[in-house]
Amino acid sequence: MVFCRWVSLIFLLHLFGALPTLSNSSLTTKELADIPVNFLTDAKRPELVDWMVGIRRKIHENPELGYEEFETSKLIRDELDKMGIPYKYPVAVTGIIGYIGTGGPPFVAIRADMDALAMQESVEWEHKSKVPGKMHACGHDAHVAMLLGAAKILQEYRDNLQGTVVLFFQPAEEGGGGAQNMIEAGALQNVDVIFGLHVSTDLPIGSVASRPGPTMAGSGFFEAVISGKGGHAAIPQHTIDPILAASNVIVSLQHLVSREADPLDSQVVTVAKFQGGGAFNVIPDAVTIGGTFRAFSKESFTQLRQRIEEVITGQAAVQRCSASVDFLTDTKPFFPVTVNSKDLHEYFQNVAGDMLGVHNLKVMPPLMGSEDFAFFSEVIPGYFFFLGMKNESSGSLGHPHSPYFRINEDALPYGAALHASLATRYLVEHQPKSQLAEGKVHDEL
C-alpha cells in the first residue's frame, strides 16, 4: 500500500501537538453542532457549484469501467492534494481513502463509487462521453463530484472536527465487488459507521428517500451451458435439441418464484441472455443462457441459488441434454442484501430533516435492485439513501443504466451538503470523551 506523504505528516503533527484537538477548539459543543446547519448554504456557493460541475463533466467525458478508473482516480488525488487532504492509494486497484480531521476517533466514512458502464451514450450534449461504448449511466460521476464537494467543505472546518471523516472513493460498483475488495484491503479498520447515496431521477430535487432495515435486494449472476447434439433442422430425430431444452429450463426457472417462494418474500429470477445457433436450418450443439437472481434475505437467496442449479440440470436431463452451471463468483461476486441500520435511520431523519425540511423526507419502498454498498453495511452499521434530481425545468432524465440517463447538476450541492452534515454531526454526537480529553490519536493512518 502506497501512503500519501501527507498521511505520515499529519500523524507526526498530532504527536508533536501541531494540529488542534477538541481541547484546543475555541468552539463549544453546541456551536460545533450548529455548523452543519450552514453546509447547504456553503455548498450552493457559485464557485463551489461550478467546481463540482466541472469535476463531474470531466469524469463524464472520460468514463472508465470497474478497476480501470486510473484517470478518474488521478483526478481525485490531484484535487485532494490541492486541498491538502491526506489519503491512501491504491486501495483495491484504483480506490482512494482520504482523511479529514484529528486522525483519532470517532471515525465516520462517506462513500462514492467511480466506475462507468459499458454502453454507448445517446444523450447529445457538449460534455458527452468521448469513449465509444462507455458512459456514466448511473450517476457515479455525480457521486464523485459530490463527495469531493463535501471534502472541500469539511476541510474548511477541519480544525473544529472532533474525530475523523474517512472519504471512500470506491472502484467497480457495477458488479465487480469493489466494496468487498476495499474491505479485504483493510478499508473499514477503525471505521464506526458509513454513509452512501445514489442519485434518483424519480425524486424531486431537494428531497431524499430511505428506509430502515432491508432496503435493496441481494443479487447474483448465473450462466449455464446446455449441451445436446446438433444436426439438420429437417431431421430433428437425429439430434438432441439444446434450444428446446433451454426453453423448458427458462419456463421452469420462473416457477421458482411463482410456485416455490412465499408471495410475501420478494424474489426475482430473470434470464436475460440466450445464445445458440447461427443458421435457420441447423440445430446447434449447445446453448448458453444467463441471468440474475435476487432476494431480500440470506436464507431465500441461498435457497434460490440451490434451486436454480437443480432446475437447470434437471430440466436439461429431461430433454436428454447435459448442463453446467456457473455462478461467476470469481468475476461477479454475490451482492448481500443492503440493510440500513435502524439507529442510523433515526439519525439520518434528524440530519436530513433539519437541512431539507421534514416534508422532503420520503419513505422508499424496498427495491429489487442491488448495491455493493451492502458489503460495507454487512461489516459495520451503514446507511444508504437516494437523492432527488427531478424538477420541471430538467425534463426527462431517463433511468439508470439507460443510454439516455442524465444528471441534473442542480442536485450536486444537496449531496455534498448531506455528506458533510451526516459526517460532522456524527462526530459531534459520538465523541469518546475520555480519549479526547487525553488527546489520544489512533495510529492507523
Report DSSP state, residue 173: -
Phi, psi of 117 (to 5 degrees): -120, 155
Q: Examine residue 106 and say whether the peptide bond preceding it is cis (omega within 30 degrees of 0).
A: yes
Known binder of ligand: residue 401? yes
Distance of alpha carbon 296 from alpha carbon 365, whole angstroms: 13
Known binder of ligand: residue 198? yes
Residue with cell 453546509: 39
Residue 181 contacts by C-beta under 8 Å, 6 or more apart in sequence?
92, 93, 95, 171, 172
Task: Classify each residue of 168-189 as buried b or exposed e, where b means 16 or more C-beta atoms within 10 Å of its C-beta.
Answer: bbbbbbbbbbbbbbbbebebbe
Distance of alpha carbon 187 from alpha carbon 286, whole angstroms: 44
β-pairing, 286-295 vs 338-340, is unpaired
Task: State which H helix or E strand residue 59 sits in.
Answer: helix 46-61
β-pairing, 267-275 vs 208-210, is unpaired
- Binding-site annotation, residues for Mn(2+): 138, 140, 174, 198, 401
Binding site, annotated residues: 138, 140, 174, 198, 401
